[in-house]
Every structure is written in structure tokens, then in C-alpha cells.
């Protein structure tokens, strides 16, 4: 579990120069003067694990970047069926310039810090400087690719393949942030409950639980506690996921 030790603002500094996502977020390409203008319109907000950040339909007067922690985008049907349509990791962007209201529920699944920009000034800045729009386009295209990969998972993969794919994706993203020696077994903490996993994968939580047990029984993964997963053989996991074995990214 992500510990909720800190009740104060969880950042050492609010200076963009010290920001952990400075080089990956929507501001990645900004020059010093652009950064200064962003700095004027920004403010931080913190949320505890489980809190709702935004309700679908809410009026949005800001857009934001995830600084630390993890959040989900969820869509809900009238009868309560829910589907997670996006996982927001540090540096991911929330909100849509030009849109009045939120289209999805945003929920913190771990403690979360967001860097928010007042919407109107942000939109104005986008008009006068190209770097933000360029970076946002790039990030949106990446998200679109991720969404399409998820469509393949939801439409065509078996429950077992879905679980293996989710673990592989979390492990890969984890590795991208904290690179490890090639030889070690990969270890991760699942940032989602079984229920959240089921909402992401289009399954029930019972099926998620059963398939995790099955992968464990078959030696594909090793579980310690509820959330800690060791992957002794990453290629084996990829085979189980149904994806191309050569872990190549999209070309």
C-alpha cells in the first residue's frame, strides 16, 4: 500500500526547475520565459488515495499535470457498469483545452499531487507560444495509441491475457522511471485494487482474482502480500499476454 504518511504538501519545492516531471510533462519544451508565465498561473493540489479529483460533468476551470501518484479516468453507465478508460501516471495531462466540463471521473488511486493551471490563462498561452501545443499534441497521440492498444485488449484478449498484459504494462512503465539491472527479476507494487483492475480490464473482480491465482500457480508471477508482484521471467509474462514477444514499442 502507498503510505499516507505526509499530510503536508508533498513537494520539496514549487520551483519548476526542481519539478520531477519537468522534462516529460506538457511543459517539457518550454523556454525559460514560457515557464515563467506558466509558473504564474499554476498551483498545486494534493489528494489522498481513494479521493475523487473530478466528477464527470463538473465545470472545469483548470487543466493539470500529475506530478506524483496515480489516478484513473472512469466512465460510468446509467446502471452503474464502470470502465476505466485511462490510467494517469506522473507527467500525464488532465483536462481538455477548449472544453467546459469534465468528460470522465478522475479518481486518485494513490496519494496524488497535481500541478494545476488556470484554464483561461493556459489557453491564452497556448495561442501565443507553440511549444505547449506541440508537446500536448505529442502526448495526446501517445494516449491515443495507448487507448487503441487497450481496445485490442478489451475486445480480443482472454482474462488470463488481460491480467498478464496489465502486469507487463505496469512493470514496463515502472522500469522506465526506475531502470534496473537487466539480470534482476522485475518487482512491482500493483497500484490498483482487484476491483480497479477489473474495471480497467472489463472483467469482474472475482475473475481477476482467479486469474492472478492461476498465473501464480503456474509460476508466471510470485505474489507477496496483496500487491507486491515479482516477475521471475519477463519474456514468459509477455508470452502469456498475447503480445509480440519482442518488447518493441510502436514503430
Q: Which conformational region is residue 95 in: left (phi greater than 0), alpha (psi within -120 to 50 degrees), or beta?
A: left
Distance, in Å, from the CA atom of 231 to the CA atom of 240, rounded to the nearest integer, reads 12
What residues between 160 and 219 interact with DNA by CB under 7 A? 160, 193-195, 202-210, 212-213
Helix (H, G, I), strand (E, B) or coil at 42: strand
Residue 207 interaction partner, one of DNA, a second copy, none, beta carbon < 5-8 Å per kind? DNA
Q: Which conformational region is residue 50 in: left (phi greater than 0), alpha (psi within -120 to 50 degrees), or beta?
A: left
Nearest CB to DNA, comparing residues 34 and 189: 189
Please report how close the Cβ of residue 213 comes to DNA at its closest, in angstroms: 3
Please report how close the Cβ of residue 197 comes to DNA at its closest, in angstroms: 8
Residue 9 interaction partner, one of DNA, a second copy, none, beta carbon < 5-8 Å per kind? none
Residue 179 interaction partner, one of DNA, a second copy, none, beta carbon < 5-8 Å per kind? none
Q: Please answer whether residues 198 and 208 qualify as being in contact, where contact means their C-beta atoms are separated by less than 8 angstroms.
A: yes
Query: In the complex, which residues of this chain contact a second copy (CB under 8 A)?
Result: 57, 73, 75, 77-79, 81-83, 85-86, 96, 98-101, 103-104, 127, 130, 133-134, 136-138, 140-141, 143-145, 147-152, 154-156, 201-202, 242-244, 250-251
Nearest CB to a second copy, comparing residues 9 and 57: 57
Residue 85 interaction partner, one of DNA, a second copy, none, beta carbon < 5-8 Å per kind? a second copy
Nearest CB to a second copy, comparing residues 153 and 188: 153
Nearest CB to DNA, comparing residues 92 and 161: 161
Torsion angle of alpha carbons 137, 197, 78, 143, nearest 10°? 10
Q: Which conformational region is residue 190 in: left (phi greater than 0), alpha (psi within -120 to 50 degrees), or beta?
A: beta
Please report how close the Cβ of residue 190 comes to DNA at its closest, in angstroms: 7
The whole-angstrom distance between residue 98's C-alpha and the CA centroid of its chain comes to: 23
HEC string for 64-85: EEEEECCEEEEEECCCCCEEEE
Residue 22 interaction partner, one of DNA, a second copy, none, beta carbon < 5-8 Å per kind? none
Candidate ranges 62-70, 132-140, 141-149, 152-160; the one touching DNA (CB under 7 A): 152-160
Distance, in Å, from the CA atom of 85 to the CA atom of 104, rounded to the nearest integer, reads 9
Nearest CB to DNA, comparing residues 99 and 226: 226
Amino acid at each position: 500500500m502507498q503510505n499516507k504518511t505526509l499530510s503536508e504538501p508533498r513537494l520539496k519545492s514549487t520551483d519548476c526547475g526542481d519539478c520531477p516531471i519537468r522534462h516529460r510533462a506538457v511543459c517539457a519544451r518550454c523556454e525559460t520565459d514560457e515557464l515563467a508565465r506558466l509558473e504564474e498561473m499554476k498551483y498545486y493540489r494534493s489528494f489522498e488515495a481513494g479521493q475523487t479529483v473530478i466528477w464527470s460533468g463538473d465545470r472545469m476551470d483548470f487543466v493539470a499535470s500529475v506530478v506524483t501518484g496515480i489516478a484513473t479516468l472512469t466512465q460510468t453507465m446509467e446502471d452503474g457498469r464502470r470502465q476505466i478508460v485511462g490510467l494517469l501516471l506522473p507527467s500525464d495531462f488532465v483536462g481538455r483545452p477548449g472544453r467546459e466540463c469534465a468528460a470522465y471521473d478522475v479518481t486518485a488511486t494513490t496519494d496524488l499531487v497535481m500541478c494545476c493551471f488556470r484554464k483561461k490563462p493556459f489557453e491564452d498561452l497556448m495561442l501565443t507560444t507553440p511549444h505547449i501545443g506541440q508537446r500536448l499534441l505529442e502526448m495526446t497521440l501517445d494516449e491515443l495509441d495507448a487507448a487503441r492498444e487497450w481496445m485490442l485488449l478489451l475486445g480480443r484478449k482472454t482474462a488470463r491475457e488481460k491480467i498478464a498484459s496489465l502486469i507487463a504494462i505496469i512493470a514496463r512503465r515502472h522500469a522506465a522511471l526506475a531502470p534496473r539491472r537487466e539480470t534482476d527479476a522485475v518487482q512491482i507494487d500493483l497500484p490498483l485494487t482487484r476491483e480497479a483492475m477489473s474495471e480497467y480490464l472489463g472483467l469482474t473482480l472475482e475473475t481477476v482474482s482467479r486469474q492472478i491465482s492461476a498465473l501464480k500457480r503456474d509460476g508466471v508471477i510470485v505474489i507477496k502480500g496483496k500487491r507486491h508482484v515479482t516477475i521471475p521471467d519477463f519474456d514468459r509474462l509477455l508470452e502469456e499476454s498475447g503480445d509480440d514477444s519482442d518488447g518493441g514499442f510502436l514503430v
